[in-house]
Amino acid sequence: MKKLSFITVLSLIVILLANCTSPTEKTEWKLVWEDNFDQTSGFDTTYWSKIPRGRSDWNNLMSDNDACYEMKNGNLILKGIINPDLSTDSVPYLTGGVWTKDKKTFNNGRIEIKAKLGESIGAWPAIWMLAQDKTWPDGGEIDIMEHLNYDSIVYQTIHTHYSYVLGIKDPVSGSTNKLNRNDYNVYALEMYKDSLVFFVNDSHTFTYPRIETDKEGQFPFDAPFYLLIDMQLGGSWVGGVNPDELPVEMAIDWVRFYQKNE
């Protein structure tokens, strides 16, 4: 038998210890809230509302039209569709999105979302968070998942006054990570007082830390945040839409929120 060097043995021990203390070990967490979208009609309005239309790329096609929403096979389906009636709404496409604003907030825990993303040129589904009590960008933005639907990757990013207004790139504010195309993926975020830790399918992908700095707004994330899940079509980032590939659907299987066991 080949003898292992002391350094090799020590390296193996370090690897084994690291695996035993993985941040995704579920025994460390207690499930405190979930929505499995098991209703046959309509999502639970105790926690969710339809996102209203706005003027930004991400919400300028948002609609409360029921054609953009469906409960099917234990999933909340958010759709991007061709506008069926231009006489009542002049935008060419309609999209569906929900948020927990003013109803349910999250912090100091781990949030997980299991979702399947449809594919269509110009589709831009997202799962993200905004501060409940502060405006953007001072309150911060946490992009748990953004996908340009011709890509084989997802984007995970933070935005703050420090990174967006001041333009400071240290620490790094985002990463890209592979996903299982045409299948469900689990996107997760752990929120701590000193860091945000991102995951795709339980693989650690990115950490954004709090650092010592005299610059404003580096880490505004130790506060209540609400969750947004939305489908969008078109815009300056994702580009044009191919109407022949619509409708496009985003299926949300469940949302779960955990906190550390005492």
Residue 148 has pLDDT above 50, yes or no: yes
In a domain, 237, yes or no: yes
Q: Active-site positions?
A: 141, 146
Domain of 75?
30-260
Average pLDDT, the chain: 91
Evaluate whether residue 251 is within a structural domain: yes
Q: Which residues, 6+ apart, have CB-to-CB distance to 228 below 8 Å? A: 51, 97, 98, 99, 100, 101, 126, 127, 128, 129, 130
SS3 203: strand
50 in Cβ contact with 69 (< 8 Å): yes
- Radius of gyration for the alpha carbons in the chain, expressed in angstroms and rounded: 20
Mean pLDDT of all residues in 165-173: 96
Rounded to an integer, the average pLDDT of 97-124 is 97
Residue 42 lies in a domain: yes
Q: Is residue 234 part of a domain?
A: yes
CATH number of the structural domain spanning residue 158: 2.60.120.200
Q: Give the pLDDT confidence of 69-99 residue by residue, as tens digits.
A: 999 999 999 999 999 999 999 999 999 999 9
At 149, is the pLDDT very low, low, confident or very high (cuts 50, 70, 90)? confident
What mean pLDDT is predicted for residues 133-149? 96
Q: What integer pLDDT is reported at residue 20 of this predicted model?
A: 39
Q: What is the pLDDT of residue 26?
A: 62
Bridge partners, residue 145, by sequence: 127
Which range, of 23-32, 225-234, 252-261, averages the lowest pLDDT? 23-32
122: left (phi over 0), alpha (psi -120 to 50) or beta: left
Q: 52, 8, 68, 14: which is closest to 249 by C-alpha?
A: 68
Mean local confidence (pLDDT), 33-54: 96
In a domain, 24, yes or no: no
Q: State the Cα–Cα distance between residues 196 and 190, nearest whole angstrom.
A: 6
Residue 3 is predicted with a pLDDT of: 43
Number of domains in the chain: 1
Question: Residue 7 above 50 pLDDT?
Answer: no
What mean pLDDT comes out for the span 131-141? 97
The answer on pLDDT for 242 being more than 60 is yes
- HSE (CB half, 13 Å, CA atoms) of 175? 15
Per-residue CA distances from 183 to 79, 87, 116, 180 (Å): 17, 37, 6, 6
Determine, yes or no, domain membership for 248: yes
Mean local confidence (pLDDT), 111-131: 96
> Lowest-confidence range among 11-20, 35-44, 52-61, 94-103?
11-20
16 in a structural domain: no
| pLDDT, tens digit, 9 for 90 and up, residues 171-194 | 999 999 999 988 999 999 999 999
Rounded mean pLDDT, 211-237: 97
Residue 22 included in any domain: no
